[in-house]
Each structure stands twice: as C-alpha cells, then as structure tokens.
Amino acid sequence: MFGPSRQVPSQHSAATVSFPVAGSAVGIGLISGVVNLLALTSPLFMLQVYDRVLASGSVPTLVGLAVLAAGLYAFQAVLDALRARVLLRIGERFDGAFSGRVYDAILKTPLLTRVNGDGLQPLRDLDSVRGFLGGNGPTAFFDLPWMPLYLGICFLFHFWIGMTALIGATLLIAVTLLANALSQKAVRDVSARGVTRNAMMEGARRNAEVVRAMGLQGVLAARWQDANSAYLDANRKAGDVSGGLGSLSRTLRIMLQSAILGVGAYLVIRQEVTAGVMIASSIMMGRALAPVDTAISNWRSFLMARQGWGRLRELLAHVPAEASVLQLPEPGRDLRVEGLAIVPPGQKSANLAGVSLKIEAGNALGVIGPSGSGKSTFVRALVGVWQPVSGKVRVDGASLEQWDRTLLGRHIGYLPQGVELFDGTIAENIARFEPGADPARIVEAAEAAGVHELILRFEKGYETQIGESGSALSAGQRQRIGLARALYGRPFILVLDEPNANLDVAGEAAVIQAIAGVRARGGIAVVVAHRPSAIEAVDFLLMLENGRQKAFGKRDEVLSRVLQPTSPGASRGFPATGVGLTPLRVVADAASAPAGPQSNAVEEVPDGAH
C-alpha cells in the first residue's frame, strides 16, 4: 500500500525497514471480495422486484426475495464490521512493530546529529500511518479491483449502459490522479509548517521561566503566530484541494447515476431493456464508483501516511536497532580511554582529540580546564552518550559497544550539568524507575548523596511528585536528587559533570563524601570541576585545553605544573596543594601559554597511572 521497502544508505548501515502485511492483506482481500459480491444484492433485488414481482403480482415471491435479501444484507454488515475490526488491529500491529524502534530512534537522534524542528515528528508520523491503516482509507484500495466486475455487469445489461458507466469511472479515476498530483506538495508543506510551529511552541514552553522573567511573551508570541499563520495557510491550501476534488467527485458520481437512469429510461422507451435493468444499473453504477469516491475523500490522509512512512523508514535506517551482545560479567577492574576523539552531533570537526588514560578501581579522576576545553564532551564519551570517531572507551577491557547498554547502565552513575528529572515521585526518580525497587536501596542512595533529610522535610517525603523536569524543586534540590539517582545501586563508575554548580556548602560536602564512598567500595569516580573543593576528593587529574590533553597524572603533580604561586593577598587556592595558588579558572587559561619541557605532560605520566 505504501510501496515496497527500499534500502536507505546511512553512515551506520543500509537497512531495509518493512512491515509484514502479506498475510493480513490476503485476509482483508478475501473479506473484501465476499463483501463486494454481496453488494450485488441490492441491484439484483431491485431487478427481480421490478421485472418479476411487479409483472407477476406474486406476494410470496416478494416475501421470499425480501427474506433472502435481508439475510445477505445481514451477512454483508457482519463482514463489513469484521473488516473494520481487522483493519483497526492491523494499525495496532503496525504500532506494536515500530513504536519501540521509533521511541529508541527519537532518543538516539539528538546524540547522533543536530535535531532541527520538532523532535517528536516521528511519533506523529507513526500515529498518521496507524490512523490510516485502522481507518476507512484502505477499504477503497481493496474495493477498487472489483470495479471491472460491476462495469462488466453493466455491459451485460446493455452496451450503452456499460459505456456510460465506463466513461464515468474513467472521469473519477482522472479526478483521483489529479488529487494525487495536486495534493502531494500541499500535504508536504502542511507537515513541514506543523513541525516548525510545534518546535517553536515546545521551545517556549521549556523556557517558560526565562520568557516570563525577561518579558519575551510578546516577541515569541509574534514569532509563533507567524509560524501558525504559515501552517494555517498551507493547511487551507491542502484542504481546498482535497475538499474541492472531493466535492467534484461526489457531484460527478451523482450526475453519472442520473445519466445511467436517463440512458436506461431511453432504452426502456425503446423497449431494449426493462425497468428493472434501469434501476439496477443505476445502483450498480453507484457501487462501482463508490471506491473511487472513498479514495478521493481519504487521499489527504493517505498522502500524510505515505510521507510519514517514508520518513520513518529513513529514520529507522539511519538509527538501526542495537545488535545483541554477549552479557559480560559485572565491571570492577578499570576504566581506560585510548586515543579518544569526539565530533559533537551536527558538527564536522572534533572538539576533543588525543585523550588517553587509565583509572583503576578505587581511584577518582578530576577533569579540569578552561571553559570550552572539552570537559563535558569527555564525560559524555565516557558514559557512551556520544560515540567516538576514533579511539575507544573500555570498561574492564571491553569497549562500550561490546556491553549491553541496559546492563552497563546499571553500573554507571551519571550527573550531567543540566540535571533533568522525570515526572514522577522522588523515590521513582532516585530508583531510575526500576520496577519493584527496594526502598532500602533508595534510602541508601539518598543518604550517600546527603539528601535523605532534605527529602523527609517534604510533606510527602519520598512520594512527593516533582512535576515535569523536576519543576517543583529548586536547582540545588534537583542536583542533589540527581546525585542520589547517580549513586543508586552502587554503580562501579560515577561520572559527575560540575556536580557542585548549584550547591551550598552542605551540598558540596555531600559530593565529596559521595566520591570518597565510591572509592572506598572499589569504584571509580570521574568529576569535572572548576571549584577546588571537588578536586580535594580525587587522586588523579586530567587537564584539557582546546580539546587536547594537556596533562594527566597524580593530582598534586599535575597541579604543580599548571598552577602558579601567588602573593599572600591573592584569592584562595586549592588547600590540597599546601600553598597559596591562583584560582583554577584563571590559571587554566594561563596554562595555554608556552611552557617548558613539562608542558607536554602526557608523556610524563607517573608510574602506575596508565
């Protein structure tokens, strides 16, 4: 119905995405065949009434024909209802076959490329295809092949009755082809304008606080109104085409039925056919042209479904399903990075390259460097959010792609800079929405993050609903609950990206305690930080500069290279060094200046660091 599956080349694979409909199509075809044969009941009943009953005046014959017709009508109604139910379930089957893949692709696409417009468009495409498959549109395609049967019977009645029906069918088929030619671009424009409009609304909704605080309502509302007007204009043009051609087809069908009556009446006057043939041929003509009329009225939804299916095939081919991998033992030995290079989604050049290091269990790594040096890119690669263009991230010797992502995810705790929580309770968020989560493990994670007492101060405690994106919480509260989520289940690797950005003194202490706890139980902690407090809890440091590894090694040794002594009145430095030092934000920039032989600290890694 939507055309054969085609192969779509991609950087990942050239996958064929298809939906197995052969068996269902055969079943629907058989039901449609019986329904179309039963549709002959009405014209044949009229033919017998006019030519046999009225001529003979036999009431028993009329009663017998009426009972027979009633039974056939009832059987036809049952089959029509059955066909509608089967089509609805075909739509549900289509959704069941692809909804999981579409959900996965929607989540993966922002990690692979820059998403422009409405990120949920694939879901709307899925809905449009399912809606068409479960509606009346497909019945027209199954009924159209039966048109020759009705036209053939019209020719059996009389040559000119058949010719009139054939001319009418040709005209309606031409209208259908015209509808296809005129509607494709219009429907495509409606979809594109709708994507733009929805994306603008979603962006404003996500940033409602900024919009309100900075008085951007008027400006953004005007932009959205412009986009909405463009959408309505495209929708009006598409509606005008489909509505106009639909009205034309209905009018033509009525005119053709009247023409059949006129031709039949003329032939009756000339005594070439009977009155029953005249009435029956009119009904036969209406039945023959009904599929064409249905197709035209559903043509817009058909085009939307076909274009949506094309976009879905392309999306799913570019974001193939993850291959199954052998389940590996739980990690517990080391984390290695080998020649890592990352190109962020939507960009063409790497903003991080040449990073290599090894951290063994029981150690913590601090990542420092000026803004834009690639720190967040590095941690995204560590947890498998962004895929490297070269190099590997290995956990216990196995690269990330060799791990089952769901299983490995249980052993990784990740706290990004922008903490996003999900609509649900605090307990559900901490437990990562794990079904049947052990309450003791939830409390343990909260205590490890130092947020247990804070949660208990809420009226409903752990059962507090936090709202979409944690909107009911402050930034600091979201960050600490996010830390508890990262610590849930005692993950082997804990990755924290600016964990103390929104925290007070107690929150910073909780972060340091969490890092120490991970080290104490034989895990690995990786923390990106600008503040000295977080660096106190690590024993190794990685310094990045301009997307390159500037230095890596034991904390104090790296600090001694990249930090400079200050005068007694300078700002406070890192207490762990034992001397007054300039703040890391300042000296990280100074580190980019030409230095002596020790500047290239990658080759000077202390023994045991790799």
| Backbone phi, psi, residue 505, to 5° | -60, -40
126 and 245 co-located in one domain:
yes
Domain check: are 293 and 343 in the same one? no
CATH of the domain at 346: 3.40.50.300
Query: Is residue 458 located within the same domain as residue 312?
Result: no
The number of residues making up the chain comes to 610
- Confidence band for 584, pLDDT divided at 50, 70 and 90: very low
Give the residue from 563, 578, 593 where a domain finishes.
563
For residue 434, the one-letter residue type is E
Residue type, 504: D
Q: Identify the pLDDT of residue 563.
A: 66
Are 409 and 469 contained in the same domain?
yes
Boundary of a domain, candidates 286, 318, 350: 318
SS (HEC) of 97-139: HHHHHHHHHHHHHHHHCCCCCCCCHHHHHHHHHHHHHCCCHHH
Mean pLDDT over 195-222 rounds to 76
351 and 489 share a domain? yes
- Judge if 311 and 403 occupy the same domain: no
Are 360 and 270 within one domain? no
Specify the CATH number for the domain of residue 291. 1.20.1560.10
Reported as a single tens digit per residue, the pLDDT across 102-132 is: 888 888 777 777 666 667 888 888 888 888 8
Residue 594: pLDDT band with limits 50, 70, 90: very low
Residues 408 and 513 in one domain: yes
Name residue, tokens 């006019």: 50
Nearest-5° Cα angle at 374, 370 to 380: 135
pTM for the full model? 0.69
d(CA 379, CA 494): 10
Residues 250 and 339 in one domain: no
Domain membership of residue 543 (yes or no) is yes
pLDDT, tens only, 152-187: 888 888 899 889 888 888 888 888 788 778 877 888
Task: Select from 287, 318, 349 the last residue of a domain.
Answer: 318
* Per-residue model confidence as pLDDT tens digits over 312-334: 888 888 777 777 788 889 998 99
* Domain coverage including residue 360: 334-563
Work out how many domains the chain is built from and give that number: 2
Same domain, 286 and 414: no
pLDDT digits (tens, 9 = 90+) for 231-284: 888 888 888 887 787 788 778 888 888 888 889 899 989 888 888 888 888 888
Task: Return the higher-pLDDT residue of 9 and 120.
Answer: 120
**Is residue 242 domain-shared with residue 343, that is, in the same domain?**
no
Tell me the pLDDT band of 22, cut-offs 50, 70 and 90: low
| Claim to verify: residue 527 and residue 381 sit in the same structural domain | yes
